[in-house]
Amino acid sequence: MLVAFVYDFPHKKSYEGLLKLAITGNLPDLVVGAPYRNLGSTSLPLQRIEPLGLKFEHPKSVSRELGVPYISTAHNSTELKMHLSDMRPDIGVILGARILEKEIIDLFDIGILNMHPGCLPQNRGLNNLKWAIIDDLPQGISTHLIDSRIDLGRLIEISIVPVFSDDHYLDIFLRIQNLELESLIRVLCNYKNGILGSIELQHGKYNEKLGYENEKTMQAKFEQYKENYEMISHSYLKEYPNLPWVM
């Protein structure tokens, strides 16, 4: 049984992920929407990477059209724990969620998949696209089974995302999100075929949200980063040859 974690409001990855699951024959048995939570005031970044002004269908409406049960509850709620205890799901997928507690994770027979928008283990945490530029790391997708540690757990596959000389930040962002869903479907297909190898990630660099000075550093490096991207990618592959790379 498959459970999809989404946000309980219109959200790009939640919307596109549910559609991708449906059209590839991976319809969830349950969709769990976490209500909006105000995280406090945030300052605008110097460089915006996400598109603005786009409209998406509410995940509840999408689930209804697909004929999939939908519940709205915090992802670590007692209500959800009781529901999953009765359901005994095999695997979960994160299309929109905050940190999930170990008690929730342990209710899944296989675990919960997350498509992380960065090359693990050295690009954990927040603002991964921007930190990759600052730290001279490739852009990437790391699909892993989560545990109680942030962006660690068992890595199933990792791939490097292309970057082109005329890219803007938004181009890279959209490419990452597109490839996240491709990775999700590939991993689910392998799981159905009894192939789900993984390696344990024990440590790696955790990134906090960028501050003003780091934003300036990123902007100053961006053009050179694109020029050096092939070398940057090759260096990371050489540093971590034993990771489950998908080329």
| Average pLDDT along the chain | 94
Q: Token pair for residue 50?
A: 């996400």
* Cα 226 versus chain centre, distance: 23
What single-letter DSSP state applies at residue 206? E
Instruction: Domains for the chain: give ranges and CATH numbers.
Output: 2-239 (3.40.50.170)
> Which residue is associated with the tokens 């990759």?
132
Euclidean distance between CA atoms 63 and 59, whole angstroms: 6
3-state secondary structure of 98: coil
Q: What pLDDT, on a 0 to 100 scale, did the predictor assign at position 247?
A: 85
| pTM passes above 0.85 | yes
Euclidean distance between CA atoms 213 and 76, whole angstroms: 35
Residue spans of the chain under pLDDT 70: 39-44
Q: What pLDDT, on a 0 to 100 scale, did the predictor assign at position 33?
A: 98
Q: pLDDT (tens digit, 9 = 90+) per residue, 27-80? A: 999 999 999 887 665 556 778 898 889 999 999 999 999 999 999 999 999 999
DSSP 24-64: TT---SEEEEEPP------PPPSS--S--S-----HHHHHH
Q: What pLDDT, on a 0 to 100 scale, did the predictor assign at position 43?
A: 59
Sign of CA dihedral 177, 154, 85, 38: negative
Q: What pLDDT, on a 0 to 100 scale, did the predictor assign at position 108?
A: 97
Across the strands, what pairs with 141?
159
